[in-house]
Amino acid sequence: MTELLEKSALRVRLRVLRRRLADEVPDVAERAARRAPLSRFSRFSVVSAYCAQGSEVDPTPVLRAILEFNPGHAKAALPVAVDRDSPLKFRLWRPQDVLTPDAFGIPAPPASAPEVEPNLVIAPVLGFDRRGGRLGQGAGHYDRTLANLRAARPVFVLGLAFSGQEVDAVPTDPHDQRLDAILTETEFIEVAGGSR
C-alpha cells in the first residue's frame, strides 16, 4: 500500500513538472530526434510510436527520423486500446491515414488497418530512472502490452521524455516493464542489461 501511495504522489508531482517542462522546452521533440542514434535503430522493421496527449513528448520527429534513415525498411504503427483492461494492439499507420478514437478516446488507426507486432516501441514516460524504470499514467496498459510482446519475441522499448523527468529511482513492482533506453532532448541513455 505504501508503494502505491508513493507512486501516486510521484505521478502528481511529475505531471505538474512535465507541464512546466513542455512550456520551457517547446522544441523537445526535435532536439530529441537529433540525439537519436539512428543507425542503432535501423535493424527494426516495425516501429510503434503514440499520439501524444497533453504534455507528453511528441514522438513524430523521432519516428520520422528513424523511418527516413533507411527509407522503405521500417513501417510505422500506433497503439490501439480496445478496452480498459486488455493489452494494447498495434496497427500499421501512415501519416496520411485518418485516425479514429480508441477506447480511451486517443486517436488510433481504424480496425481496417492491419494489426502488427512492433519490434521497436517508443513509449511515453511520466518519469524514468537510469536503470530503465518507467513510471506511466498508472493504468498498466504499457506494462501488460510489453510483457505480452516480450513473451513472443525480443522488443526494444525506447522511453521518450524531457531530461527533467529523470528521478533517482522509479518505484517498481514485479510486473513493471523496464525501458531498454531513454531518449531526451539532451542525451540517449542505454540501459545496462537491456530488456528483461
For the residues of 21-49, what is the DSSP string, one character each? Answer: HHHH-TTHHHHHHHH--HHHHTT-SEEE-
From first to last of its 196 residues, the chain has per-residue pLDDT tens of 345 558 888 999 999 999 999 999 999 999 999 999 999 999 999 999 999 999 999 999 999 999 999 899 999 999 999 998 889 999 999 988 999 999 999 999 999 999 999 999 999 999 999 999 999 876 668 999 999 999 999 999 999 999 999 999 998 888 889 999 999 999 999 997 655 4
The answer to whether the CB of 189 falls within 8 A of the CB of 181 is yes
Bridge partners of 127? 135
Please give the Cα distance from 191 to 39 (Å, whole number).
17
- A 10 A CB-CB count for 6 gives 11
What is this structure's pTM?
0.93
Q: Are strands 156-160 and 181-183 parallel, antiparallel or unpaired?
A: parallel
- Side-chain-side CA neighbours of 117 within 13 Å: the count stands at 12
Please give the Cα distance from 59 to 50 (Å, whole number).
7
The answer to whether the CB of 89 falls within 8 A of the CB of 80 is yes
Please give the Cα distance from 2 to 147 (Å, whole number).
25
The answer to whether the CB of 51 falls within 8 A of the CB of 108 is yes
The beta strands (E) that lie in 35-172 are given as 46-48, 75-80, 89-92, 100-101, 107-108, 120-124, 127-128, 134-135, 156-160
